[in-house]
Amino acid sequence: MFASLNLDPARVVAPVSRRTFGSFVEHMGRCVYGGIYEPAHPAADADGFRQDVLALVREMGVSVVRYPGGNFVSGYRWEDGIGPVANRPVRRDLAWHSLETNEVGVDEFMRWAAKADVEVMYALNLGTRGVQEALDVHEYLNQPEGTALADRRGGKPYGIGMFCLGNEMDGPWQTGHKTAHEYGRLAAETARALRSAEPGLELIACGSSHSSMPTFGAWEATVLELAYDQVDAISAHAYYEPVDGDLPSFLASAVDMDHFITSVTATADSVGARLKSKKRINISFDEWNVWYLSEFQARPTPVDWAVAPRVIEDCYTVADAVVVGNLLISLLRHSDRVTAACQAQLVNVIAPIRAEPTGPAWRQTTFHPFALTSRLARGEVLDIGITSPTYDTERFGEVPVLDAVATHDPATGDLTVFAVNRHRTDPVELTVPLAAFGAGLEVVEAWTLHDPDLTATNTQLHPDRVAPRAAELALADGSARLRLPAVSWTAFRLAPVNAGAGRPGS
């Protein structure tokens, strides 16, 4: 099979947003306790944070982390997690049927975020709480000294700029679930109050939990009609798995993500037009990943209430990694409207990083496309043309075999292409004409993630079973040519001759 890309540096979608490479830390399972935090571990620092995990987070290139939930936040009392640790109460977490010790709270997490060099996206509890709680936690986080909660914090304000106005309030599973009208009014009221305290905040309203929700579209329309002028973005959440062994549809999961994004932006723009507003609402895709959700839902609810139980610690395959790489392509492609995105979650819980108690931490297969995309995507996202054969899927009908996105950095001349071959059995011969970028490009690096065994995984005993390998890329007659193996994710970077020497990753 043959495919090609049409690239032009003048056809720019938007600048690459570093916030596209976000992640998510929720008080769920072993993400916090036994994940980022394990005081008894040999690699723990003085604050109890695992330095081996921190090193992998930095290697991934994570830019922003959403915290503290997730479903957890809709029952969370943030003040339980401040003050002397010995005095903090143990609470039930109804979302994941576990016990929360509150050993890690706001201050501890902010210390971890500083060590990881990530921005924090803070989620507010609008499930069981509301406006006053939002104002209180904002005062604790951001208010300079001189007020009761700011003085209780001590030290400098944390300066958090992004706040999620609740989590998945459209979902009946959510503690404090609300109708679109109930939630839209609460979100607007909370946003107005927060802007009275700090006008420049970026506020994110809850959108649909997934595109198959019966209220999808109508939820966004109602919420934004009530809160359009008070918020900056609306959230989108999506998880994907191979349903009933349908690998062809699973490999095309990004088709659904593309549809999700274009549908929400169309709805938001329609509301803006009706309101005669010049403002544009963007999307925070602050939960996305591969998740074997049907397996999780088939398990019975635990009888006991445990601290940090093992919850949805999915072991990811080669096919999962290819899908994750393709979802990143989709997010980059929509950089004009997707201004933040968070892969859920960071450690242990449906995560690219796994860590064992007193044992090692390692990279899952899905770690690699995220880390490479975060490192290589620079400059501007290009609006590219794709010529590709198609294949049939049960869920999405006929879809392109090839999917791709490209970034171009005008300052350095670097051109990076990310491409996925979704076909189960056949390679793709890809041609990328380069005439629009001038003469004298050379290959700086080229990587492919592929394995004949699509079920291969990385484990504690074999942590590097699956990893990107050097790809063979030829430059001839003004084009780049390479073979994309079946079910593979590929990234390559080109630079002006001699410009790539000595650069990171060169």
- Helix 131-142 to helix 106-116 angle, to the nearest 10 degrees? 50
Nearest to 429, CA basis, from 384, 472, 485, 477: 485
* Beta-strand pair 415-421/428-433: unpaired
CATH number assigned to the domain covering 17-376: 3.20.20.80
Query: Exactly one of 26, 38, 287, 380 is catalytic; which is it?
Result: 287
Query: Contact, 106 vs 88, CB < 8 A?
Result: no
Q: What pLDDT is recorded for position 299?
A: 81
* Beta-strand pair 64-67/22-24: parallel
Could you identify the residue written with the tokens 């109602």?
222
Distance CA 375, CA 20 (A): 12
Could you identify the residue written with the tokens 């979650």?
345
Nearest to 280, CA basis, from 22, 9, 14, 8: 14
Question: Alpha helices of 311-403 — where are they, by DSSP H?
Answer: 318-333, 367-376
Q: Where are the domains of the chain?
A: 2-9+380-496, 17-376
Average pLDDT, the chain: 96
pTM: 0.96
168 assigned to active site:
yes
Query: Exactly one of 100, 119, 168, 241 is catalytic; which is it?
Result: 168
Q: Which amino acid, one-letter code, is at 138?
A: H
* Beta-strand pair 479-484/428-433: antiparallel
Beta bridge partner(s), residue 92: 99
**CA atoms within 13 Å, Cβ hemisphere of 167:** 25
Nearest to 362, CA basis, from 293, 288, 465, 447: 465
- pLDDT tens, residue by residue, 142-151: 999 999 999 9
Query: What stretch of H or E contains 220?
Result: helix 218-227
Nearest to 505, CA basis, from 448, 447, 445, 449: 445
Distance CA 302, CA 34 (A): 19
- Which residues are CB-neighbours of 298 under 8 A, at least 6 positions away? none
Q: Selecting from 2.60.40.1180, 2.60.40.1840, 2.102.10.10, 3.30.950.10, what CATH number does the domain 2-9+380-496 have?
A: 2.60.40.1180
Query: Contact, 405 vs 381, CB < 8 A?
Result: yes
- pLDDT tens, residue by residue, 264-306: 999 999 999 999 999 999 999 999 999 998 888 778 877 789 9
Q: What pLDDT is recorded for position 499?
A: 64
The residue-averaged pLDDT of 358-365 equals 97
Distance CA 352, CA 342 (A): 12
Question: Above 60 in pLDDT, residue 433?
Answer: yes
Query: Contact, 11 vs 384, CB < 8 A?
Result: yes
The residue-averaged pLDDT of 333-357 equals 98
The token pair at 424 is 């189960």
**C-beta atoms surrounding 483 within 10 Å:** 16
The token pair at 445 is 């690096």
Question: Above 50 in pLDDT, residue 418?
Answer: yes
Query: Contact, 377 vs 407, CB < 8 A?
Result: yes
